[in-house]
Structure 1
Amino acid sequence: MERADFFQQSYIRRRTAMASKPWEGILKYKVPNPAFVDKPEGEDTRKSEQRRREVWKQRTRVFDPETVRTKTQAMQALAAWKAEEERDAWAVDALMPVAEYVERYIDSREAAGELEASTVCDYHKSAKRVSEAFSKLPMRDLDRKGVRAWKDGLVSDGLAPSTVTKALRLLRMVCEQAVMDGDLSDNPCQGVRAPSLGSGKRARNALSDSSMDRLMTALEGADNTPFSTAVQLAVRTGMRQGEICALRWRDVDLVGGHIHITHAIGQNGGQFYVKAPKNEGSTRSITISPDLGNVLVARKEAVEDALASGGMRRGQRGYEAAFGALFVVGSIDGSFYTPTILSREWKALAVALGIVDTEGKRATFHDLRHTYATLAISQGQDVAGVAGNLGHSQISTTLNMYTTSKERSKASAMGAVEKALRGHAPARVIPLRGNGTDGQRPLDF
């Protein structure tokens, strides 16, 4: 594949300060700005030099006035010099240690604004796994055998399959870029299989029927708190935990009957922040069912009462905008519930009520999302519609991840097949001998 030019601008000019006024070539390129500061929440107080993700650098060369006299000759000299500099620039990259190459890849994409802060944090965690094994190995010497041995070593060290998969995925992306840039002839990660996510990982599952009964009974008598509202949203819409925490009242259309999912909560180290949803398909609208509508109306009234006690009432100037900016699962001071707090409160509830999944394991908050999908599909809802509500771009993701494995459901499926088979004419049954024949002719399978 053709690589992008290292030098993004090139031109010539006369060096008028010198007596002979020779031609001069200029090559310009961009590098990450070390002074860059990401846009803060609220008022932007950054200085001008802190706003640019990248800054320009340049190299210059004065051409020999004896051999480069005309503009055409200067353009030819510039092209030859640029090609030479390009080769040297990329040759240095190929000799760069794999670990450093990976870090530069992350920094480059971050500087270009292509990555969320939470993604950058995850990438750096995975990069540490790469650095532990490839801190000195030149990028050009990385091969498939080495990648496979590294992956197997991570598995042997007892790392979770998902952790190993993330590290391998990052290295694969970096190597793909290296192929595009000409630093590798092919991707050494191709053909190296990630560990099965099923090994050592708790299976995604839905709540058991008895647990659902206990949960819904508890919710029926619960106050209109942020936590109870979050649980209702999860089990009735299948929204992700971060999407629930980031939901604002301006995104809830109680008149039109829709929830507009436009943001999620991300995490960068120990800091939580509002960000765009997981992917393009995650930005979506969900229909509000009558029961969920009642829950949201009650929650809204509780928030309005809390505001009124502090002197803010409907009809006052700026009230609607201020109310719309509040988080549904949050406080009247403008703060939101973090996924960590939500998980902690859910764990306490699950332990107190004995809420488990269909395999008898304590249910997580994320299992409410699986429960929504399982209930919707088992009730005959269109899978494409369920996938749309969940924010899945592929229907197969919904089917593979969220169909239930309950014994009752499997037995029901077998019964349905038996019923369908009874509608067909029975085949002629001939008793078989021990040698697999009916005594008249060999059986032809």
Structure 2
Amino acid sequence: MPTKRKDGRIQTSVTITNSLTGERKKVYVYGYTEDEVKRELNRVKLDNGKEILMPTFKKWADEWLKIKSDDVSPTTINSYKDSLRLHISPILDKYKLKDITPSLVRVVLRNIPTQRTKEYCYIIINAILNQALREDLINKNPCINVKKPKSKPKEASIITNEEFNMLLNSAKSAKNTQFEIILRLAFDTGMRRSEICALRWEDIDFNKNIIHVRHAIKIDRYAPIETRFSIGEPKTDYGIRDIALTGILKLNLQKHQIRQKEFFKNKNRILSLKDFVFMSQHHLRLGNFIQPDNITHEFVKLKRKAGIKSDITFKSFRHTCLTSLAEANIPAKAIQAHAGHANASFTLNRYVHRTEKMEQEVGDFLNKRNESL
């Protein structure tokens, strides 16, 4: 009910509800005449308090992360959170969505040192504001007027046979037999770190010479340490696949299994098919899976010990394996299935590298074609 204030104005209120969050808020309107109050009251009702309840970028970014969590993996969500925390939020968080301008987006991008990170942050900001546009929170996405940064993906190095042998010798000299098997597995299969860590003995069929890739280690860096690592499915649905088990890898895995059985016997325990192929050596986690980051750290140590100067990383094994399949003229669809990707074009564009052997085969083919003429 309208009331008269001491300053002569008429005051009344209306409760509005944010249709997105369910938040209710009482809004007071003022005027010197009843008509003025009525007009202001109607404006607030028609707008449903959109202007008043307009969320800040921070609040909407949090909501957007919840929306995206239904579509992407926890690892991707954590990647979004890291980019927001490090580069985007310090500048945009305090602004309401309607107040974000192309200039503010450019300020964010200008303060980012690398081109690839600029491109990634632009993609995130654009996605957040596009979602706000679809929810009718804003009338225009300011990213439309900002040129998208472009970066050239850094091509991963291929591991040479010499480097692979150097890594194996480095693992042998360190008496790290478990990591020696991991190196061989990565070289022969191109499996992801997370898939290697989640591999159980029941996933290896020594009779049919097949490795069943069914699980992967999921990492939530924002979760408490005790729940940070968990067992889940591979990165995509296509990641669930079967991979051929080579003869030399089979022999090494069987020897590794015998060593594990002996180790467990000394601990008064029987190795089961449910046990992990690669186990943590830490006394508090004995028998549990190893963490993907540990593979990276161990690889760096062995690479340094071996004296390898190139810029290869553990992920280079994946590139090396898939490139070698392409060199052998394996069909693109088969390479895609081996990699666990959604389509062959992504596999070929991102993971298969042009090599001298490929170019030589092209030259040989053209020479034979010319001879036939």
Instruction: Compute the TM-score of the two structures, normalised by the length of structure 2.
Output: 0.75
Deviation at 1:234, TM superposition (A): 0.8
Shift of the 411–286 alpha-carbon distance from structure 1 to 2, 3 Å rule, reads closer
Which residue number corresponds to residue 64 of structure 1? none
Tell me if 1:377 matches 2:326: yes
Shift of the 254–363 alpha-carbon distance from structure 1 to 2, 3 Å rule, reads same
Cα distance in structure 2, aligned partners of 1:237 and 1:413: 24
Cα distance in structure 1, aligned partners of 2:197 and 2:58: 36
Shift of the 86–175 alpha-carbon distance from structure 1 to 2, 3 Å rule, reads farther
Secondary structure in 1 matching 2:212: strand
Shift of the 331–341 alpha-carbon distance from structure 1 to 2, 3 Å rule, reads closer
* One-letter amino acid of the structure 1 residue matched with residue 287 of structure 2: G
Tell me if 1:352 matches 2:309: no
Which residue number corresponds to residue 134 of structure 1? 92
2:170 touches 2:302 (CA, 8 Å); kept in 1?
Answer: no
- Map 1:34-433 to 2 at 5 A: 87-88=47-48, 90-92=50-52, 95-107=54-66, 109-110=68-69, 116-128=73-85, 129-144=87-102, 146-151=104-109, 153-155=110-112, 158=113, 160-190=114-144, 192-198=147-153, 201=154, 203-215=155-167, 225-269=177-221, 271=225, 272-274=228-230, 275-313=232-270, 323-331=272-280, 333-355=286-308, 361-406=310-355, 408-409=356-357, 411-413=359-361, 415-416=363-364, 418-420=366-368, 422-423=370-371, 425=373
Deviation at 1:405, TM superposition (A): 4.1
1:109 touches 1:115 (CA, 8 Å); kept in 2?
Answer: yes
* One-letter amino acid of the structure 1 residue matched with residue 229 of structure 2: Y
2:280 touches 2:288 (CA, 8 Å); kept in 1?
Answer: yes
Deviation at 1:284, TM superposition (A): 2.0
Number of corresponding residues: 333
Shift of the 411–154 alpha-carbon distance from structure 1 to 2, 3 Å rule, reads same
1:239 touches 1:390 (CA, 8 Å); kept in 2?
Answer: yes
Cα distance in structure 2, aligned partners of 1:239 and 1:85: 57
Secondary structure in 2 matching 1:189: helix
Shift of the 154–424 alpha-carbon distance from structure 1 to 2, 3 Å rule, reads farther
Deviation at 1:204, TM superposition (A): 0.9
Cα distance in structure 2, aligned partners of 1:411 and 1:382: 17
Cα distance in structure 2, aligned partners of 1:97 and 1:424: 70
Cα distance in structure 2, aligned partners of 1:86 and 1:368: 60
Deviation at 1:239, TM superposition (A): 0.5
1:143 touches 1:188 (CA, 8 Å); kept in 2?
Answer: yes
Secondary structure in 2 matching 1:324: coil
What does the per-residue CA deviation read over 1:262-308, in whole Å, with 9 as the maximum and x for residues that have no partner?
Answer: 22223333844123322222222222222222222222221111112
Shift of the 186–296 alpha-carbon distance from structure 1 to 2, 3 Å rule, reads farther
Cα distance in structure 2, aligned partners of 1:86 and 1:394: 48
Gaps of 5+ in 1: 1-26, 32-55, 60-83, 314-318, 426-445
What does the per-residue CA deviation read over 1:50-74, in whole Å, with 9 as the maximum and x for residues that have no partner?
Answer: xxxxxx9889xxxxxxxxxxxxxxx
Cα distance in structure 2, aligned partners of 1:209 and 1:372: 12
2:210 touches 2:242 (CA, 8 Å); kept in 1?
Answer: yes
Which residue number corresponds to residue 31 of structure 2? none
Deviation at 1:355, TM superposition (A): 3.7
Cα distance in structure 2, aligned partners of 1:125 and 1:350: 28
Cα distance in structure 1, aligned partners of 2:363 and 2:184: 33
What does the per-residue CA deviation read over 1:328-384, in whole Å, with 9 as the maximum and x for residues that have no partner?
Answer: 11148332222222112111221222345xxxx232111111111111111222221
1:354 touches 1:362 (CA, 8 Å); kept in 2?
Answer: no
Cα distance in structure 2, aligned partners of 1:279 and 1:193: 27
Deviation at 1:391, TM superposition (A): 1.2
Shift of the 165–283 alpha-carbon distance from structure 1 to 2, 3 Å rule, reads farther
Residue range with higher mean Cα deviation, 241-250 or 219-228: 219-228
Cα distance in structure 2, aligned partners of 1:87 and 1:109: 27
* One-letter amino acid of the structure 2 residue matched with residue 254 of structure 1: F
Deviation at 1:217, TM superposition (A): 6.2
Secondary structure in 1 matching 2:143: coil
Q: Which of these two proteins has the greater Rg computed from alpha carbons? A: 1
Deviation at 1:181, TM superposition (A): 0.6
Deviation at 1:29, TM superposition (A): 7.5
Cα distance in structure 1, aligned partners of 2:279 and 2:125: 39
Cα distance in structure 1, aligned partners of 2:122 and 2:101: 14
2:56 touches 2:93 (CA, 8 Å); kept in 1?
Answer: yes
Shift of the 132–226 alpha-carbon distance from structure 1 to 2, 3 Å rule, reads same
* One-letter amino acid of the structure 2 residue matched with residue 248 of structure 1: R
1:205 touches 1:402 (CA, 8 Å); kept in 2?
Answer: no
Gaps of 5+ in 2: 1-16, 26-43
Cα distance in structure 1, aligned partners of 2:46 and 2:185: 55
What does the per-residue CA deviation read over 1:177-205, in whole Å, with 9 as the maximum and x for residues that have no partner?
Answer: 1121112334433573233043xx5x312
What does the per-residue CA deviation read over 1:296-324, in whole Å, with 9 as the maximum and x for residues that have no partner?
Answer: 222222111111222234xxxxx7xxx23
